[in-house]
C-alpha cells in the first residue's frame, strides 16, 4: 500500500489519542482495552477469577477489532489514491469516536460494564482504534506505532544502551534517527494516558468528548502527495 506523507503533528495526535482512548476506556469500562485489544486476554482472566463485570465486552473486543481491520483494508484497497483512502478512514474514525462519546456521556457511568449500552460504547471505541491500527500499517509503515508501545520502548532502550557504549558510524546514525522518531511517539502516547486519567478523575464520562476532537484535528494534518488527484 502506498505510503501517505503526513506531518509530525498528525502522527503525534494519533499517538496521543491512542493513549487517551485506551486509558479512558480502561477506567470507565472496567478494564477494557480499546486500542491494545490483546491486553483484554489478561483482564478477561482477572474478571473470571475475581468475578468482576466486563467479561463479555472483553470477549467481543478482539473479533470486532479483527473484523474492522479487514473491512478497513478492503475499503482502502478499493480506492486508487492512498491519501483519499486515509482521509475517508479518518473521517469514519471521528464519527465512531463521536458516537462512542454520545453513548458514554448520555448513559454512563456504568456499574455493570457488560450492560448493552456500555458494551456499545466500548465497541465503538474498539472499532475506531481498529481503523487507526489499520491506517498505521497500511499508510504509515515508516512511522513508529501509535497504539502499541512495548516494541517502541524496547527499541528506545536498546538504542540508548548502544549510544551509552559508544557506537559510532552508521550504527550511531541509525540509533539517533530511530530515537528522533520513537521518543516523540512514546511521549505522545504517555501524555494521552496521563491526560485521560486526569480528565476521567475530574469529569468521568465527559472525558470522552476529547478524542473525536483530537481525531478531527489529526485529519486536518493529512497532506496530499504530489501528483495525487484532488
pLDDT of res. 224: 45
Distance CA(93)–CA(212), nearest Å, equals 8
Helix, strand, or coil (residue 116): helix
Per-residue DSSP letter, 115? S
pLDDT of res. 75: 93
Distance CA(1)–CA(172), nearest Å, equals 30
pLDDT tens over the chain, length 230 residues: 556 666 788 999 999 999 999 999 999 998 888 988 877 777 777 666 766 666 888 889 989 999 999 999 999 888 867 678 889 999 999 999 999 999 999 999 998 888 999 999 999 999 999 999 999 988 887 788 888 788 889 999 999 999 999 999 999 999 999 999 999 999 999 999 999 999 999 999 999 999 999 999 999 877 544 344 43
Cite the beta strand spans of the chain per DSSP E: none
Q: Is 195:20 a contact under the CB 8 Å cutoff?
A: yes
> What pLDDT, in 10s, does the model give residues 94-143?
999 999 999 999 999 998 888 999 999 999 999 999 999 999 988 887 78
> What pLDDT, in 10s, does the model give residues 23-34?
999 999 988 889
Distance CA(11)–CA(30), nearest Å, equals 28
CB crowding 18-56: b at 16 or more within 10 Å, else e: bbbbbbbbbbbbbbbbbbbbebbeebbeebeeeeebbbb
pLDDT of res. 216: 96
Distance CA(83)–CA(230), nearest Å, equals 10
Q: Is 27:106 a contact under the CB 8 Å cutoff?
A: no
Q: Is 16:214 a contact under the CB 8 Å cutoff?
A: yes
Amino acid at each position: 500500500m502506498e505510503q501517505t506523507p503526513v506531518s509530525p503533528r498528525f502522527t503525534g495526535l494519533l499517538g496521543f489519542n491512542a493513549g487517551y482512548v485506551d486509558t479512558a476506556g480502561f477506567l470507565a469500562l472496567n478494564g477494557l482495552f480499546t486500542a491494545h485489544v490483546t491486553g483484554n486476554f489478561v483482564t478477561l482472566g482477572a474478571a473470571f477469577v475475581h468475578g468482576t463485570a466486563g467479561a463479555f465486552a472483553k470477549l467481543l473486543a478482539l473479533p470486532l477489532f479483527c473484523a474492522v481491520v479487514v473491512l478497513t483494508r478492503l475499503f482502502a484497497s478499493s480506492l486508487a489514491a492512498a491519501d483519499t483512502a486515509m482521509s475517508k478512514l479518518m473521517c469514519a474514525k471521528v464519527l465512531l469516536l463521536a458516537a462512542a462519546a454520545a453513548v458514554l456521556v448520555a448513559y454512563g457511568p456504568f456499574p455493570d460494564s457488560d450492560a448493552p449500552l456500555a458494551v456499545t460504547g466500548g465497541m465503538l471505541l474498539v472499532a475506531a482504534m481498529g481503523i487507526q491500527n489499520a491506517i498505521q500499517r497500511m499508510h504509515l509503515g515508516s512511522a513508529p506505532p501509535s497504539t502499541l508501545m512495548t516494541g517502541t520502548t524496547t527499541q528506545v532502550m536498546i538504542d540508548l544502551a548502544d549510544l551509552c557504549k559508544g557506537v559510532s558510524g552508521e550504527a550511531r546514525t541509525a540509533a539517533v534517527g530511530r530515537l528522533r522518531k520513537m521518543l516523540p511517539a512514546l511521549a505522545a502516547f504517555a501524555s494521552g494516558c496521563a491526560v485521560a486519567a486526569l480528565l476521567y478523575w475530574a469529569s468521568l464520562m465527559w472525558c470522552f468528548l476529547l478524542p473525536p476532537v483530537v481525531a478531527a484535528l489529526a485529519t486536518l494534518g493529512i497532506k496530499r502527495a504530489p501528483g495525487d488527484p484532488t
